[in-house]
Structure 1
Amino acid sequence: MQIDPPVNLLGGPLEPCSVAPLTGFFRDGHCNTCAQDHGLHTVCVIVDAEFLAWSKYVGNDLTTPRPEFRFPGLKSGDRWCLCASRFLEAHEEGCAPQVVFEATHRRTLEVVPIEILRLHRILWPF
């Protein structure tokens, strides 16, 4: 697998999203992507209780630990590389989490317009 160039939404180097919990398609702490990442796990978000409840409601339980996948379960305040289409869906439902531009891969723009991402941007560092 060849990783796409690690460039963020601002055109700079892709910053880490989270190592605790360890996130990313490659579980490398970054929202890196490649041709095999069909979900486009490129949006670095800070999850909150509202988003986590909505995600579980629509069938993507992010709170329950899944040790067999090295997944500890998320809690409010965790950072996570979210699928671009799931982020867009959450935005349309009014419960999108905050986005860390510096740690969000630029390929996100293939799915989510920059204007929508700007509505949910959190400034780095925080």
Structure 2
Amino acid sequence: MPEKNVLGEPLQPCSTDPTTGFERDGHCSCHDADHGRHELCAMMTEDFLQFSKQQGNDLVTPRPELDFPGLEPGDCWCLCVPRWVETLEAVRRRHIPETTVPPVILEATNEAVLDTVELETLQAHAYD
């Protein structure tokens, strides 16, 4: 059965340049082996990339041995759901810039995310 996005429609690709997803197939699919839950498609912002690096998750530096090209602002990427939630909570608690929360691509975000984040929250942070 094809996976669906948070809007209840067929899951669209998140990015093929750079190629994202747990299986590097461009999709934010669910996989039992994916303990990080790379199910949320987001557009990277400079603020988010710097925040993530400060939290110990460097998404900027290329890691060819992991088939990871390094990300730049404007790239779309399947993020770990807990990392996105952590960022949202940090914005709320620490009053860091709202642009630290990377915009969500709803059509490419897996419906499984809805067990952690409400649709209204995702919509409030949706990429236009």
**1:86 paired to 2:110:** no
Which structure shows the bigger proportion of residues in helix conformation? 2
2:112 partner letter: R
Task: State the match for 1:106 in structure 2.
Answer: 111
TM-score, structure 2 normalization: 0.89
CA distance in 2, matches of 1:38, 1:110: 15
Moved more, 78-87 or 108-117: 108-117
Which structure shows the bigger proportion of residues in strand conformation? 1
TM-score, structure 1 normalization: 0.91
CA distance in 2, matches of 1:35, 1:110: 15
CA distance in 2, matches of 1:120, 1:18: 18
**1:12 paired to 2:17:** no
Aligned-pair identity (%): 49
Task: State the match for 2:70 in structure 1.
Answer: 73
RMSD value, Cα: 1.2
Q: Cα distance, 1:111 vs. partner?
A: 1.6
Deviation per CA, 1:46-99: give whole Å up to 9, x if none: 001000000000000000000111111000000000011111011111221000
**1:51 paired to 2:54:** no
Name stretches of at least 5 consecutive residues in structure 1 with no aligned partner.
Answer: none
